[in-house]
Amino acid sequence: MSKSLNSLTIAEARDGLRKGEFTASELTGACLTAIDGADALGAFVHKTPDIAREQATAADARLAKGDAPDLCGIPLGIKDLFCTKGVPGQAASNILAGFLPEYESTVTSKLFGAGAVMLGKLNMDEFAMGSSNESSCYGPAVNPWRSDDRELTPGGSSGGSASAVAADLCLGATGTDTGGSIRQPAAFTGIVGLKPTYGRVSRWGIVAYASSLDQAGPMAKTVRDTAIFLQAMAGHDAKDSTSADIPVPDFEAALTGDIRGKKIGIPREYRADGMPAEIAALWAKGADMLRDAGAEIVDISLPHTQYALPAYYVIAPAEASSNLARYDGVRYGHRAKLSQGDGITEMYEKTRAEGFGAEVKRRIMIGTYVLSAGFYDAYYNRARKVRALIKRDFDQVFAGGVDAILTPTTPSAAFGLGEMASADPVQMYLNDVFTVTVNLAGLPGISVPVGLDSQGLPLGLQLIGRPWEEAALLNHAYVLEKAAGFVAKPGKWW
């Protein structure tokens, strides 16, 4: 075998493990070695080699018995937003310093139940708020792709997950996506990332950012891996009231590569002013690929698209301002040192001032403002109405027979770390312009690497599917992936 074990895909590893070509312990060992050599990427913020080896041994036993689900023995990275029992988890925030969850999130519990191996916790933007992984209390994760020796962002908020998968530190990683946090980093790092339909994957045990938008999903090297990975994550959970009691189909079996007669919509409103020519060209190329595969390309309109970003940046902070109220220094996490005479108000103020970073504070303040008396109707309620209109836009397009929608994932390739430091925060928010609509409408969306830009950096296209039709969406993505033939890997510099 010419490939090193850690650079295998999940599907390759699954098959190799089942054939006995190598063991889960060997595979895990290869990943642990790769991780130890990749501290410069800042992807893993908490390594769990002991757990990994133990789980790999157990996986080998299951494999030997022939009782091995697809993910048995597959080493994964877990975004720091997922609570994993007995392993520190702090959502990349100082306010959760020292927090040790006594429970296992539904997603990780399903993954480990299927025999997956946990390599450690992955870097992210603080509380999943950000598009560059620079708001992390651990410092930024770094993109394994570089141009001109410039250090680039892997995107955010699931930047550590994207970086780790792209650099072959793990075979797949969990991500979460509230406004694009799986798809944008996937696009920036040349991997596949899928945000499932809202309600497809349980949110229980995942630190909440914006509850009505948050959705966990897989980040992997190929569409097939993404399908296998999603299979293990998805399903109804009685502990999450927003989780849907809908059967989970066989996602991998849906990858037929046949999309003949399918209708792919190209939304004209996504042709944003100032879209770089490279992005526009990639988009057109993607449409051609799908047409060549037998799909019909149709021009569609999603008229309320321009209001999506403002609506998102009202709704998400509103929910966040409430969701993050529990970090008050009373029960767990950071509590500020108090001065003589300080009361409960000082405890709150000092604890939260010290514990939260600038971007989190900004969103808490925005969210508090838009929910406050006198502004609620003008901001929050109006944003909810816009959200309903955006959802209706999609409903109408799908009702018109469109099977999937093709857009760019991001307005640009990965940018340099620190480049946005002095920019208006809105410049950073613009990263989400093509992805937030999907969260607002609760739809499934997937980013597939399709090409490189002139600087040799990966670019992705996004496919948006009908609700609950991840299987069909994955098949469209599979066709796009095959046609694009994206095989480039970042040169190892770390």
Partner 1 sequence: MLDLTYTAPKPKVIQGAKDDWELVIGMEIHAQVSSNAKLFSGASTAVGAEPNSNVSFVDAAMPGMLPVINEFCVEQAVRTGLGLKAAINLRSAFDRKNYFYPDLPQGYQISQLYHPIVGEGEVIVEMGPGVARHVRIERIHLEQDAGKSIHDMDPTQSFVDFNRTGVALMEIVSRPDIRGPEEAAAYVVKLRQILRYLGTCDGNMQNGNLRADVNVSVCRPGQYEKYQATGDFSHLGTRCEIKNMNSMRFIQAAIDYEARRQIAIVEDGGSVTQETRLYDPDKNETRSMRSKEEAHDYRYFPDPDLLPLEIEQAWVDDIAARMPELPDAKKARFMGDFGLTDYDANVLTAELEAASFFEAVALGRDGKQAANWVINELFGRLNKEGLAIGESPVSAGQLGGILDLMQKGEISGKMAKDLFEILWTEGGDPAEVAAAKGMKQVTDMGAIEAAVDAIIAANPDQVEKAKANPKLAGWFVGQVIKASGGKANPAAVNDLVAKKLGM
For residue 393, what are the CA distances in angstroms to 79, 302, 307, 397? 32, 5, 12, 6
* 79 in active site: yes
Answer yes or no: are the C-beta atoms of 172 and 196 closer than 8 Å.
no
* 161 in active site: no
Q: Name the segment binding partner 1 (CB under 8 A); options: 4-12, 34-42, 135-143, 322-330.
A: 322-330
In angstroms, the CA 116 to CA 111 distance is 5
- Chain centroid to CA 388: 24
Answer yes or no: are the C-beta atoms of 91 and 110 closer than 8 Å.
no
Q: How far is the CB of 159 from partner 1 (least distance, A)?
A: 20
Residue 175 structure tokens: 């991500």
257 Cβ contact partners less than 8 Å away, ≥ 6 residues apart = 293, 475, 478, 479, 482
Q: Which of 105, 109, 135, 157 is catalytic?
A: 157
Beta bridge partners of 445: 195, 464
Binding of partner 1 at residue 368 (CB under 8 A)? yes
Q: How far is the CB of 116 from partner 1 (least distance, A)?
A: 19
Comparison of 207 and 461: residue with beta carbon closer to partner 1: 207
287 Cβ contact partners less than 8 Å away, ≥ 6 residues apart = 264, 266, 297, 406
Q: How far is the CB of 468 from partner 1 (least distance, A)?
A: 16
Binding of partner 1 at residue 210 (CB under 8 A)? yes
Would you report the helix, strand and coil content of the chain in percent, each value rounded to 5? 40, 15, 45
Q: What DSSP string runs through 104-149?
A: --HHHHHHHHTT-EEEEEE--SGGG--SSSTT-TT-----S--BTT
For residue 185, what are the CA distances in angstroms to 39, 69, 141, 158, 164? 19, 28, 11, 6, 11
Binding of partner 1 at residue 207 (CB under 8 A)? yes
- According to CB under 8 A, which one of 205, 317, 357, 442 is a site residue for partner 1? 205
- According to CB under 8 A, which one of 238, 284, 358, 423 is a site residue for partner 1? 238
Binding of partner 1 at residue 371 (CB under 8 A)? yes
* 181 in active site: yes
Q: How far is the CB of 278 from partner 1 (least distance, A)?
A: 37
Q: Name the segment binding partner 1 (CB under 8 A); options: 57-65, 208-216, 392-400, 425-433.
A: 208-216
Q: How far is the CB of 391 from partner 1 (least distance, A)?
A: 15
Number of amino acids touching partner 1 (CB under 8 A): 43
Comparison of 74 and 386: residue with beta carbon closer to partner 1: 386
- According to CB under 8 A, which one of 268, 326, 385, 492 is a site residue for partner 1? 326
At residue 231, the 3 state secondary structure works out as helix
Binding of partner 1 at residue 242 (CB under 8 A)? yes
- According to CB under 8 A, which one of 253, 281, 284, 325 is a site residue for partner 1? 325
Residue 465 structure tokens: 């599917």
Residues in region 25-84 near partner 1 by CB under 8 A: 82-83
Binding of partner 1 at residue 348 (CB under 8 A)? yes
β pairing state of 192-195 and 445-452: antiparallel
Residues in region 277-306 near partner 1 by CB under 8 A: none
- According to CB under 8 A, which one of 4, 372, 427, 454 is a site residue for partner 1? 372
Binding of partner 1 at residue 94 (CB under 8 A)? no
In angstroms, the CA 246 to CA 243 distance is 9
Residue 410 structure tokens: 């991001």
Residues with a catalytic annotation lie at 79, 157, 181
Interface contacts to partner 1, rule CB under 8 A: 82-83, 89, 91, 96, 99, 101-103, 105, 203-208, 210-212, 238-242, 318-319, 321-322, 324-326, 328, 330-332, 344, 348, 368, 371-373, 376, 380
